[in-house]
Structure 1
Amino acid sequence: MERSRLGVVTDGAFNTGLTVRLDADRSTEDLRVGEFVVIEGKSNRYFSMISDMQLRVSDPRLLSSPPDDAPPLVAHALAGTSTYATVEVKPMLMLDLTSDLDELRGPQSVRTIPMHFAALYEASEMDFATVFGKEGGTNFAVGTPVTMDIPICLRLDRFVERSNGIFGQSGTGKSFLARLLLSGIVTSRAAANLIFDMHSEYAFDKQTEDGHWVRGLRELLGSQVLVYSLDAEAAARRNVDVTLIIGLNQIEAEDIMLLADELDLTATTAATAGLLGDQYGDDWLRQLLAMSPDELAQFCQSSGAHPEATKALQRKLREVQRRGYLTEKASFSLIDEMVTALGKGRSAILEFGRHDSPLDYMLVANIVTRRVRRLYQQKMERFEETKAEADRPLQLMITLEEAHKFLNPTVARQTIFGTIAREMRKYNVTLMVIDQRPSGIDPEVMSQLGTRITGLLTEERDIDAVLTGVSGRSFLRGSLASLDTRQQLLLMGHAVPMPITVRTRSYDKEFYQDIQRGGRAQELPDVVATDIWAE
């Protein structure tokens, strides 16, 4: 396919990017900040991104006395001579055109820049395929360029092998994007998935804001997806596989500390819970709730616990005791059976039903994930002992909405989710965090996210947070600020060779048919650019 020329390089530096003067017949209105373009150098092809645009004049008198209501003929006569436009372009990858080896390896990190007057072109379909690959296998088409209809693919195998994040303000389509990605991950068998579905977004059909009904993952993917529920009443009405029961004996001090804001707990809570755990083990919570005033006083005297702090903790934890899914004692068998199913490649959605308060969500998600991670740790240790591929645990990705509640700086080091994020892929368990407030997530956790997909963000602190640890962040701010409120996203990180702005594909009948066929079975290209973008 012949490319369409845009202009020529006139200025620039390796660290700050290149300035390209647009040809006289090209308009800035035909281009977009964040657009994927190509510079043809003498020896290299540079796959690049537009980071800014500027209007310029060669005669300063035009600025002091601009022509009023200039007819089109006058504007056309001035264009390219007295008036012109430039775009700032940042090379992201380069392909050595003189080396057969580089042709085989695909685009690599940029190590130089082109000379003056190297031509800038619109990217062709072949350029997109060279960098992002074609759909098939674990290459999943997540959308298209904003101004073109060419699939942009995400490498799902790379996406799941590190923790990742989906961000954007309310209404930008985070949940629907998560459905797209989860559908692709399940059908490609890139990973098993554990999805904490706080607001009943994923399992069953859901009505959109414009009144249309979209399919849930259970209806779309059938027996590949198991549905668990905390709500026994809802489970009786819907196609739920297991109703999950949580025992007081399964709640640890870590879980209670996570609820500090919800229960208005004091700084002495951890010490008090620790003393209870030392004396009563797993039965500490049941024992505390059952204590009479005399028994509580006796415990405080023997253990050194503060009487008033212990009384306050008992009173506040009665709110936890009243949850409908809790019982005095329960085994971990239901969660263990879930892990067995995950190990066989099935995915699980845990619905909260009417138990959808932040307290319920944070408590249950932490308990379940801690058990899952312990079992995966045992599986990985077994694999390291035997070195048998049959013992290698299948990659698991845990999807977590409202992630800042679990990963804010105050609690990130105390929760199992913070541990998983910092471990990266140590036990083949990673996170997909979904949030509209990335600034609420601990910066250390944000820096560990391999791939970030972000919709429009308007708060400066949220923009700064989502670009934490990303190389070339100054060039990406403009792309992030130029996104529409719906169906436009910036992809960056481990699962894409270079950042790119896309219009997400629709979650509709065409998508359902594609997923149920297992995706378009095209072969992957011989060359797919390696990941060199994340710091």
Structure 2
Amino acid sequence: MTAQQLGIVVQGSLTQGLEVRLSGQVSVEELRVGQFLVVQGRRSRFFCLLTDVTLGTANPRILLNPPALEDSFLQEVLAGSGTFATLSVAPMLMILDDEQELRPVKTIPAHFSPVYEASERDFRAVFGWEDDPQRRNFAIGTPLDMAVPICLDLDRFVERSNGIFGKSGTGKSFLTRLLLSGIIRKQAAVNLIFDMHSEYGWEATREGKQLSTVKGLRQLFPRQVKIYTLDPESTQRRGVRDAQELYIGFDQIEVEDLALVQTELNLSEASLENAMILRNEFGKGWITRLLMMTNQEIQEFCETKMGSKASIMALQRKLTRLEQLKYLRNTCSKNYIGQILETLAAGQHVVIEFGSQANMLSYMLATNIIARRIHQAYVQQSEVFLQTKNPSDRPRQLVITIEEAHRFLEPATVKQTIFGTIAREMRKYFVTLLVVDQRPSGIDSEIMSQIGTRITALLNDEKDIEAIFTGVAGSQQLRSVLAKLDSKQQALVLGHAVPMPVVIQTRSYDEHFYGEMGDRDWEELPTPLLLEAAQAAKSDLGI
């Protein structure tokens, strides 16, 4: 079936895009910003994105005396000649007629080149097919006007850090569950998910007028996903019976971790400087020692170690808030983080639930501590692999998912978090991030420039929209596309894992999706080096 011709190219440029005159037989109301179009040049086929629609007239006098509303005959006579619609389209990819390889756009089609609706064949040529045996493709949704899968290349997706953005209520959690399910189903990587609001591990509430729930990853993949919890009582109340407890010792908290939650604890710079003095004197157990010190002992310590008594007493008073966090212990007899490493090394995915411990102090502190030690283990394992070049020593690719990402990656704190380091390293040590956030403008611009693939639902704030397009060529044309998204189940996908930007109707997370995912036997063997490192983590990393 031949695709419908929409119009012809009348003018344009490589940098500003093409202007297309719409045929009089085509209703402008049938077209949407974000639609995928194809321009057939004389030697090449151009794949384009519709970025704007405008109305025009051949003679301004028509507007001075427009046809009456009931005069349909005169309106039809003027349509296409006296009055017309113009499409602004941005060429994204091109393919030579005698080749099959997609190329970046380095030229534009000639005047009067015909413009068509994209066909199913065009979508498959650009975005591939989910059952492609050569790639780990995963269908994340469909185009706005056609039931054809739009696929992400998961191998390219996991090799860089990525982001899911959108204002509150646009379905970021559902998008995240979709992507994590795809990574698990296609075995593209292992996941470490910091589940702040208990939305990913077990069932979660679906937004809407009728109260309903959706399945979590543990229910979809019971043999491949394990839940660890920082609040066992809360997790049990939600019906999760086999979650693993997770505790953190005071001796695992570094001064850098406290710097991250400086605002939440109301710590001064002087308090942090004196915390370093205490850490240098008492070692890893400095917090436990500080909390037990009397005023007299603090006075004596300051006299000998040149500390500030007022600052240390203020630090002691404010750190007593840590004793209220359920998951913190003076010391931990069990190597919990080593256990997580063993789980990841075995090819299983880890969801860490916070339950009632989901305030920002608790979430930021635990997430930073755990991720830092996991990253340290991966650095050690990666260095051995680079030395031996033995494929069996290669660590599994790890994707760490964090919510409220701007809290960890804002310019003032990004150097105190392990996540800034991971984002800048890209895949050097086989660890990348999946950041979920409603305020991308709060993320450091350098970090945003490292985000490989950006999946963005509706955003209204101009600063947030500007942040999304940090380091993206042709961003001005795409800004109008993003601003016109619906508030539910639509997203703009651009970056490393897709050949060109595309607007999608996101895949439904429902019973049909559950059936398509299904559980499967985990066929790969554990990575020997990761298992060894996990077993030795207690001595090597001090955990």
User: What pairs up with 1:216-255 in 2 under 5 angstroms?
Assistant: 216-237=216-237, 238-255=240-257
Please state how far the C-alpha of 1:325 moved relative to its aligned partner. Answer: 1.3
Aligned to 2:96: 96
| Corresponding position: 1:336 with 2:331 | no
- Structure 1 residues 27 and 236, CA, compared in 2 at 3 Å: closer, same or farther? closer
Per-residue CA deviations over 1:385-421 (Å, capped at 9, x if unaligned) read: 1110000000000000011111111100111011111
The CA distance in 2 between the partners of 1:424 and 1:332, in whole Å, is 32
Aligned in 2, Cα 1:372/1:221: closer, same or farther, shift over 3 Å? same
Residue 142 of structure 1 corresponds to 140
Deviation at residue 71 of structure 1 after TM alignment: 2.4
The answer to whether structure 1 residue 127 and structure 2 residue 118 are counterparts is no
CA apart distance, 1:280: 1.0
Q: Secondary structure at the match of 1:324?
A: coil
Is the CA contact (8 Å cut-off) linking 1:257 and 1:269 kept in structure 2? no
Distance 1:144 1:517 in 2: 24
Within 5 Å, give how 1:300-311 maps onto structure 2.
Answer: 300-311=302-313
Could you tell me which of 104, 108, 111 is aligned with 2:106?
111
Q: Give the counterpart letter for 1:89 in structure 2.
A: V
Which of 510, 513, 523 pairs up with 2:512? 510
CA distance in 2, matches of 1:107, 1:327: 56
Return the offset for 1:269: 2.9
Deviations along 1:81-106, one digit per CA (max 9) or x if unpaired, are 100111011110000113xxx31xx2
Matches within 5 A, 1:158-177: 158-177=156-175
- Residue pairs, 1:289-438, within 5 angstroms: 289-330=291-332, 333-438=335-440
Matched-pair contact (CA < 8 Å) for 1:229–1:240: no
Matched AA of 1:395? Q
1:66 deviates by: 2.1
Runs of at least 4 residues of structure 1 off by over 6 A? none
CA–CA separation in structure 2 for the residues paired with 1:10 and 1:232: 65
Native 8 Å contact 1:245 1:327 kept in 2: yes
Q: Which residue of 2 aligns with 1:182?
A: 180
Contact preservation (8 Å) 1:228, 1:241: yes
**Residue 270 (structure 1) shift:** 2.6
Contact 1:167 1:453 (C-alpha < 8 Å) held by counterparts: yes
Q: Which moves more between the two structures, 219-228 or 231-240?
A: 231-240
The aligned amino acid for 1:25 is Q
For residues 509 and 352 of structure 1, the distance between their equivalents in structure 2, rounded to whole angstroms, comes to 27
1:301 and 1:330 map into 2 onto residues whose CA distance is 33
Q: Is 1:154 paired with 2:156? A: no
Q: In terms of mean alpha carbon deviation, does 450-459 or 210-219 score higher?
A: 210-219
Distance 1:196 1:90 in 2: 38
Q: CA deviation at 1:236?
A: 4.4
Q: Tell me if structure 1 keeps the 8 A contact 2:67–2:74.
A: no
- Give yes or no for contact 1:247–1:331 (8 Å, CA) kept in 2: no
TM-score normalised by length of structure 2: 0.93
Q: Is the 8 A contact 1:145 1:503 kept in 2?
A: yes
* CA gap 1:414/1:517 in 2 versus in 1, 3 angstroms: closer
The CA deviation at 1:301 is 1.8
**1:126 Cα deviation from its structure 2 partner:** 0.4
Counterpart of 1:10 in structure 2 is: 10
**Letter of the aligned partner of 2:103 in structure 1?**
Q
Alpha-carbon distance in structure 1 between the residues aligned to 2:388 and 2:344: 21
1:306 to partner: Cα distance: 1.6
Amino acid across the alignment from 1:176: F
Once residues 357 and 83 of structure 1 are traced to their aligned partners in structure 2, the CA distance between those partners, rounded to angstroms, is 58
Deviation, 1:67, is: 2.6
- Deviation readout 1:141-182 (Å, 9 max, x if unpaired): 100111211111111111111000000001100001101110
SS in 2 for 1:178: helix
Q: CA deviation at 1:68?
A: 3.2
Structure 1 CA distance for aligned equivalents of residues 480 and 334 of structure 2? 49
Other structure's SS at 1:276 match: helix
Counterpart-to-counterpart distance in 2, 1:28 and 1:300 = 77
User: Does the aligned pair in 2 maintain the 1:161–1:430 contact within 8 Å?
Assistant: yes
Report the Cα offset of residue 274 of structure 1: 1.1
Q: Indicate the SS of the match to 2:194.
A: strand
Correspondence for 2:19 = 19
1:81 partner letter: S
Match of 1:278 in 2: 280
Q: Which amino acid aligns with 2:159?
A: E
Mapped pair 1:490 → 2:522: no
Match of 1:206 among 190, 204, 207: 204
Task: Please give the per-residue CA displacement for 1:49-74, whole angstroms capped at 9, x wherever unaligned.
Answer: 11111111001101222233242222
Contact 2:15 2:474 in 1 (8 A): no
- Whichever residue aligns with residue 319 of structure 2, its letter is L
Q: Structure 1 unaligned runs (5+)?
A: 519-535
1:37 lines up with 2:37 in the alignment = yes
1:74 corresponding residue in structure 2: 74
- What is the alpha-carbon distance in structure 2 between the residues aligned to residue 431 and residue 381 of structure 1? 20
Q: Which secondary structure state, in structure 1, belongs to the residue aligned with residue 129 of structure 2?
A: coil
Matched, 1:443 2:438: no
Is the Cα contact below 8 Å between 1:370 and 1:416 reproduced in 2?
Answer: yes
Using the TM superposition, name which of 73-82 and 300-309 deviates more.
300-309
Residue 228 of structure 1 aligns with an amino acid whose one-letter code is: Y
8 Å CA contact 1:228, 1:240 repeated in 2: no
Q: Which residue of 1 is the match for residue 539 of structure 2?
A: none
Moved more, 463-472 or 204-213: 204-213
* 2:48–2:90 CA contact under 8 A, matched in 1: yes
* TM-score normalised by the chain length of structure 1: 0.94
What amino acid is aligned across from residue 405 of structure 2 in structure 1?
A
Secondary structure of the 1:413 match is: helix
Is there any run of 5+ residues in structure 2 with no aligned partner, and where?
A: 521-543
Task: Decide whether the 8 Å contact of 1:235 with 1:243 is kept in 2.
Answer: no
Contact 2:51/2:478 (<8 A) preserved:
yes
Structure 2 Cα separation of the partners of residues 280 and 34 of structure 1: 60
Q: For residues 315 and 207 of structure 2, what CA distance do their matches in structure 1 show?
A: 42
Take 2:80 and 2:127, find their aligned partners in 1: how far apart are those partners? 34
Tell whether the 8 Å contact from 2:220 to 2:519 is kept in structure 1 after alignment.
no
Equivalent position SS for 1:223: coil
Alpha-carbon displacement from aligned partner over 1:343-380 (angstroms, at most 9, x marks no partner): 22110000011111111100100010001000000110
Residue matched to 1:195: 193
How far residue 242 of structure 1 moved from its aligned partner, in angstroms, is 1.1
Q: 1:508 to 1:110 in 2, by over 3 A?
A: same
3-state SS of 2:12 partner? strand
**2:483 alignment partner in structure 1:** 481
Q: Secondary structure at the match of 1:222?
A: coil
Q: What secondary structure does 2:223 align onto? A: helix
Per-residue deviation at 1:261?
1.3
